[in-house]
Structure 1
Amino acid sequence: MPTQDAPNDGFPTEGRLAAVDFGTVRIGIAICDPDWILASPLEIRPVSTPDKDAQYFADLARSERIAAWVVGLPIHCDGGESDKSKQSREFAKWLHETTGLPTRLFDERFTTVAANAKIRQSKTTRKKTKQRVDAVAAQVLLESFLESCRYRGELAGVGLEDSASDASLDDA
């Protein structure tokens, strides 16, 4: 768990976090307990209109008592960013502005691969795997974020104001 005195751009050091695996069609969501120990997939949200999505995320933050968001940032293996990275950054800023909650970006490399492996271990059908993969990818993202925070003793990932060049996330 991060130390209380770590600079953290307003990001809490306790309380329920929600991770978001952003997509232009579907958004996977996972949450953790207030002590940052256990992460669980929550649901998959089909992308809708900006107004409906804003209402959904505001309601979700309230009903699940979410203290902050972790949004997956797609990074190439060489550390570079893509158009999808820019979209994720824009979504993270929108999510922060919409809910008023602190938001950090965290490297999501290989989360979908890990999610598919997790789902295969549970011996689900191909159809159910496809239905669950985005929420489980968000769970993998959140687990990685929490583990990185514990290992480093400080917050992992990058804040919304960090530029693309600052966000290689090699040490995340």
Structure 2
Amino acid sequence: MRDPIKRPMTILAFDYGTRRVGVAVGNTETRASQALKTIAAANADGLFWEVENLLKEWQPDQIVVGLPTHPDGADHEMTAKAKRFGNQLHGRFNLPVSWVDERYTSAVLETDLQMHDNLDAHSAALILEQYFAEYK
């Protein structure tokens, strides 16, 4: 388990998918998250260009990436892809990356039809809320 959060920080959270990436922002003082946007880039260059613009705008101290697994916690194809995405974020932007179990975030939100249009960004917000809950 990580050390408790010691100073106010801005955090960007990502819900990685091969077609869309949800993004949310939050801070450790309010421990609240806000869905920002869903990135639907045609390729990796477009995705990282969008991410770079968000990093410039929000100036986060840390990144959180949702880590998808099977319901029993076992890795699957998307687990490796999300890990690779997080590692690329760390390598390109030199920010610390934390991982959060995201097994049920999309399933929870799919029942709320109002969030359907921006489901991935709202999933990222739930991932960030989970991070705040786990690391007090």
Q: Provide TM-score, normalisation by structure 2.
A: 0.88
Cα offset for 1:73? 0.5
Q: Mark the runs of 5 or more structure 1 residues left unpaired by the alignment.
A: 5-12, 151-172
Cα offset for 1:36? 4.9
Letter aligned with residue 41 of structure 1? A
Runs of 4+ in 1 over 6 A off after TM superposition: none
Paired position in structure 2 for 1:141? 127
Q: Deviations over 1:142-165 (max 9, x none)?
A: 101101112xxxxxxxxxxxxxxx
Letter aligned with residue 25 of structure 1? R
Q: Mark the runs of 5 or more structure 2 residues left unpaired by the alignment.
A: none
**CA RMSD between the two structures:** 1.8
Paired position in structure 2 for 1:157? none
Cα offset for 1:37? 1.4
Higher relative contact order (CA 8 A, sep 6+): 2
| Structure 1 residue 84 corresponds to structure 2 residue 111 | no
Tell me how far apart the structure 2 counterparts of residues 76 and 14 of structure 1 sit (CA, whole Å): 33
| Structure 1 residue 103 corresponds to structure 2 residue 105 | no
Percent of pairs with identical residues: 25
Paired position in structure 1 for 2:116? 130
Letter aligned with residue 100 of structure 1? N
Cα offset for 1:48? 2.8
Cα offset for 1:130? 3.1
| Structure 1 residue 41 corresponds to structure 2 residue 35 | yes
Letter aligned with residue 47 of structure 1? A
Q: Provide TM-score, normalisation by structure 1.
A: 0.71
